[in-house]
Amino acid sequence: MKFLYYLIFLFIFFKKNDLAAGNITLNERKPFPVSLTDESVSNLLEKAQVFIDKGEYDKSTIYLNTIAKRYKGNNIEIETRVLGALARNYLHIGLERKALIYWNDALGLIKGLPNEKYFAAIFQNDMAKAFLKIKKPEKARECLEKALTAYPLPQTYQKLSKLAIDTKSNYELAKYYLDSGLKLIQNKYRSDSYTMKVNNNPEGNLAYAMILEGYAYYYLKNGDLKTSLRKYTEALHLTRILERKNLRTRIIKKIGYLHLTLGKVKESNNFMADSVALNDSLNVKKSKILDIEFEDVNKTDYGKKDNNGVYLTIISFVLIIVILTTYIVFKYYKWQRRRKSLKKKNAALRARLNKNFDSLIKLAKTGDSSFLAKFKQVYPILYAKLDSREKALTDSEIILCAMIWLKFSTKEIAQYTFVQHKTVQIKKYRLRKKLSLSKNTDLYKWICEL
């Protein structure tokens, strides 16, 4: 699929956009009738960056190619930013190696600029993403270390933390990077509570969202699923406000996985569906890049239409229809496979729960001393709620609650715990009193609703 994208992209842009083909520089192209000033180029670049962040690559490509074709100035910073933005576009549509070429060219241009260190950090961070996508983690680490040396950024610390976990399983180092990134945000944005004001500081919010994602991944790998879920949820809130679709898609998918791991199948399915829908919308937008046509591109410097552009438009349109059809069929079968996989996982989970439930009933009926430990293992959340009451419950009281939760009658509880029927009633009375329940409250119903 990526290969077809690549062929079509080159086919269109070799004819229409010399910069995209990578053969000439910005200053070597023939001038267009309408020129752009440095100020207007900066405004267009800012708009293009917004569209890249929102995942609307068709629109960002229009802005970037307009700049590349019409800019006649000699501002090195402008040329650097154009190259960097084009590289980010290529990265997001799957042309990682082409993106790396553009970033290398950009790094060569920034030497001597006032913002050289900042640009170097940004480009090295983006290059690390590309190296990770093509399975070269060591190259990614080199880029991130160079970025950190040039100009420390929160996202650099977040990426280094993830690399420390994925490649070295060094959780102490990973935590150090995250704490350093969080401290950097605190110092830069003067936030004592680590809470940003979204309307006034979107840059700070983005940095905070990425650090939150890093913490969530750290806790996930450490097995603290609840804390991980909380961090991912906080990050998701920020990405929705900031309209960062790529980051949001990644986080939603992680939240869906966490819900599934915690046994919340319904919530998991909802998040997984959102993730697939959002990812599909991004893929459709990526494909639109291959069909972008400029009105002025089909004309010569004298306003005459370029007939080749018409043929290229027709050919590219037909190819895109074929690709989209193939893509839709592929996604349908992929969805079917995912659906079958989820059904199998759900069936396996139900079977495991039934097996554990039967084992728990057997332990209760035989008065086995390991009953409480098994109950804690099978129902950790319920056990935690009982164990965290303001008035601490004893083990025998928790066992009584567990047997009530398992729907054992007073007679059965007396039989399996080898005590008198009246003794169980007294224990229930004391438990009700300790839990501060009224006489009208059904103890069985109250415990089952915990």
113, two tokens:
């600029």
Q: What is the pLDDT of residue 328?
A: 92
- In whole angstroms, what is the distance from residue 333 CA to residue 426 CA? 61
List C-alpha distances in Å: 311 to 37, 58, 306, 316: 33, 20, 10, 8
The CB-based long-range contact list for 231-239 (8 Å cut-off, 24+ gap) reads 232/258, 235/209, 235/210, 238/196, 238/198, 238/205, 238/206, 238/208, 238/209, 238/212, 239/209
Q: What is the pLDDT of residue 423?
A: 92
8 A C-beta contact, residue 185 and residue 208: yes
pLDDT at 144: 92
What CA–CA distances, in Å, run from 298 to 8, 146, 293, 301? Answer: 18, 43, 8, 10
Whole-angstrom distance, CA of residue 216 vs CA of residue 227: 7
State residue 390's pLDDT score: 63
Helix, strand, coil distribution of the chain in percent, nearest 5: 75, 0, 20
What pLDDT digit, counting tens, does each position of 190-249 carry? 554 444 444 456 777 778 888 888 888 888 888 888 888 888 888 888 777 766 667 777
Report the distance separating Cα 252 and Cα 329, nearest Å. 24
* SS3 state at 184: helix
CA atoms of 236 and 214, how far apart (whole Å):
13
Q: How far apart are CA 89 and CA 71, in angstroms?
A: 19
Write down the pLDDT at residue 93.
77
Options 2.40.50.100, 3.40.50.2300, 3.40.50.720, 2.60.40.1220; CATH for 367-448 is 3.40.50.2300
Q: How far apart are CA 220 and CA 46, in angstroms?
A: 36
- Structure-token pair, residue 106: 């950009």
What phi-psi label fits residue 30: left (phi over 0), alpha (psi between -120 and 50 degrees) or beta? beta
pLDDT in tens, the chain (450 residues): 544 444 455 444 444 444 333 333 333 333 323 456 677 777 777 777 777 766 777 777 777 777 777 777 778 888 888 888 888 888 887 888 988 998 998 888 888 888 889 889 999 999 999 999 899 999 999 999 999 899 888 889 888 998 889 888 888 898 998 888 888 888 876 554 444 444 456 777 778 888 888 888 888 888 888 888 888 888 888 777 766 667 777 788 888 877 788 888 888 777 777 766 656 555 544 444 434 433 333 333 334 444 556 777 888 888 899 899 998 999 888 898 888 888 888 777 666 666 778 888 888 888 888 888 888 888 888 888 888 876 788 889 999 899 998 889 999 999 988 899 999 999 998 988 888 888 888 888 898 887
CB 119 within 8 A of CB 108: no
Q: Report DSSP state, residue 71.
A: B
363-408 pLDDT, tens digit per residue, is 888 888 888 888 888 888 888 888 887 678 888 999 989 999 888 9
- Give helix 76-92 / helix 96-109 axis angle, nearest 10°: 170
Across-strand partners of 305?
299
Count of H-run helices and E-run strands, the chain: 21, 0
**0.85 surpassed by pTM:** no
CA distance 54 to 48: 10
Q: What is the pLDDT of residue 16?
A: 45
